[in-house]
Amino acid sequence: WQILDTNDFHMVQNNDFEELTFYGEVTFNFTDDWRLTLGARAFDNELTAQVFQEVRTYPAGDANHKETHKEDDIIGKVNLSWDWSDSSMLYGTISEGYRRGGANGYPTIGFYGDPGSMFTYDSDKVLNYEVGIKGQTERLRYTVAAFFVEWSDPQINTVAPSSGIYIVQNGDQAETYGLEVELEGYITDKLYFNAGYSYVNAELTEDFFYDLPEDHWANPIALSGNTMPGTPEHMVNLSLDYYSNIGQYDMTYRLSTYYQSETENSINNESGLYGVEHDGFSILDLSATLSAEHWNATLFIKNATDEEGTTAAFKNNHMGSNAERNFAGNNSSHDYVARPRTIGLAVGYRY
């Protein structure tokens, strides 16, 4: 095999993005306990993207493509809340969300060329429904919320069908629903805690296809019901802070931990090229902070157990086991993992 140098793959992408946005909201207080908030966001944007790509290992694989994409819309929000006691509130919210589109870079001519229809991808939008309760007691604050999200034209990472280069494409429909719980407060006068849990179910509700011209036919990339990649079903976080004094100085000891359940690597996790299920993992952080009137010093250990924590991967089946031949760059890692155990000292000064 011939080992390629760093000039065998060359791509330059220039994006020029302009956006004009107006946003506002108003709140109506019907009574001392009931209030209604209405909000809206209007936007008008334009994206001009140009990509030059030279792939010397592909016959006639160069590409120089330029395209302009315009979009404008108005999205809104409605929130109704009720203070059912002096320290607790019930609320319901319906809101729209928006994420702008963008451009991909891949060869459009040659043996490995893909249709230019996939060069840009559109914005995706969500319609959010949320109900919840917030409140507090003398020593405890709490929040419980349930949500349902309808997702239109979701932006999904995939690969171009011919070149195998990673691109973004718009799906048709997806949905997310779940529950979030957060508690925080004092266990004793010196021990404070914060705990949270979330359950999320995120999946396609329509089959996912490439954006190809009518004369191109392809099987679906993924089927309705497939789990959205990188989305853990369960997440838990917990932190404990203990406060004490050392002479004239304040001391804070902190322990925090995070856990997430297993995740899917690809929208088509049955694929032998891209699919893999990443195990759940937990991260433990420890710190001790010494504080004076104008300065503080923190000794910290991040990821104290040195958990690997893989969140995404380029599989050898697709990229090849030789790091000098893969598309991710020479000597690149095939896995995205958590930051390894890190020990350090941070010093701050307040004027």
pLDDT per residue, tens digit, the chain (351 aa), is 445 555 566 667 788 889 999 999 999 999 999 999 999 999 999 988 887 777 665 555 556 778 888 889 999 999 999 999 999 999 999 999 999 888 887 777 766 778 888 888 889 999 999 999 999 998 999 999 999 999 999 999 888 888 777 889 999 999 999 999 999 999 999 999 999 999 999 999 999 988 887 655 667 888 899 999 999 999 999 999 999 999 899 999 999 999 999 999 888 877 666 778 899 999 999 999 999 989 999 999 999 999 999 988 876 655 554 433 444 443 444 788 899 999 999 999 988
Q: Which residues on adjacent β-strands are paired with residue 30?
A: none
Number of DSSP helices (H) and strands (E) in the chain, helices first: 1, 21
Angle at 259 between CA 255 and CA 260, to 5 degrees: 160
How many C-beta atoms lie closer than 10 Å to residue 295's C-beta? 12
Cα(328)–Cα(323) distance, integer angstroms = 8
Going by C-alpha positions, the residue among 304, 246, 317, 257 that lies closest to residue 282 is: 257
Cα(60)–Cα(49) distance, integer angstroms = 22
List all residues 6 or more positions away from 159 whose beta carbon is below 8 Å from its beta carbon: 165, 166, 167, 274, 318
Residue ranges in the chain assigned as alpha helix (H): 316-319
Cα(163)–Cα(144) distance, integer angstroms = 46
What six digits make up the tokens of 312?
A: 């995404």
Show me where the domains of the chain are located.
9-228, 235-351
Instruction: Tell me which residue has tokens 């006068």.
Output: 189
The SS3 assignment for 243 reads: strand
**Using the 8-state DSSP alphabet, how is residue 165 labeled?**
-
Cα(288)–Cα(294) distance, integer angstroms = 17
Kindly report the pTM of this predicted structure: 0.84
Please state which CATH number belongs to domain 9-228: 2.40.170.20
Instruction: Tell me which residue has tokens 């000597």.
Output: 331
For the chain, the residue count is: 351
Going by C-alpha positions, the residue among 145, 273, 267, 275 that lies closest to residue 197 is: 145
Angle at 317 between CA 314 and CA 322, to 5 degrees: 75
